[in-house]
Amino acid sequence: MADYVFYTATYLGNSIPESDFPAMAARAGEQLAKYDRVYQVQGSQEDRDMAVCAMADVLYYYETAENGGLVTSSSVGSVSSSVQFPALDFSPKAKSAELYRCASRYLSIYRGLRG
C-alpha cells in the first residue's frame, strides 16, 4: 500500500499531514479491497497506490469538513479574508460516489460479472 513518501513524491499530494496519512490510507485501502470483492478491478500496483492516495485525500477532506476544519473566514488585526466553499453533500451516497470517481481515475473498474 502507498506510504507517505509515495503520497508526497509520486502522487504529489500535500493536503494530508504525515501523522494522519496512515489512517486515511488504511481506510482508502479498505475501500479499494471492497471494490476488489465486488467488481473487476484492473491496474498496476502504482495505479492502485495512486487510487489509494486519491481516495485518502477525499476521506481527509470530508473528515476535516465534518469536524469544522475548513476555515471560511479569518482575520488578523485589520486584515480579514474569507473563502466561499460550495455546499457539500455529506451523505453516504455522495461520499461513496466521490471515492469511486477517484479510484476510477487510476483503475479500470468493471461493474459486470466476475469471471
Give pTM, 2 decimals.
0.82
pLDDT digits (tens, 9 = 90+) for 85-111: 556 788 999 999 999 999 999 999 998
Helices (H), 39-91: 45-66
| Helices vs. strands in the chain: H and E counts, helices first | 4, 4
pLDDT digits (tens, 9 = 90+) for 43-101: 999 999 999 999 999 999 999 888 876 555 555 666 665 555 556 788 999 999 999 99
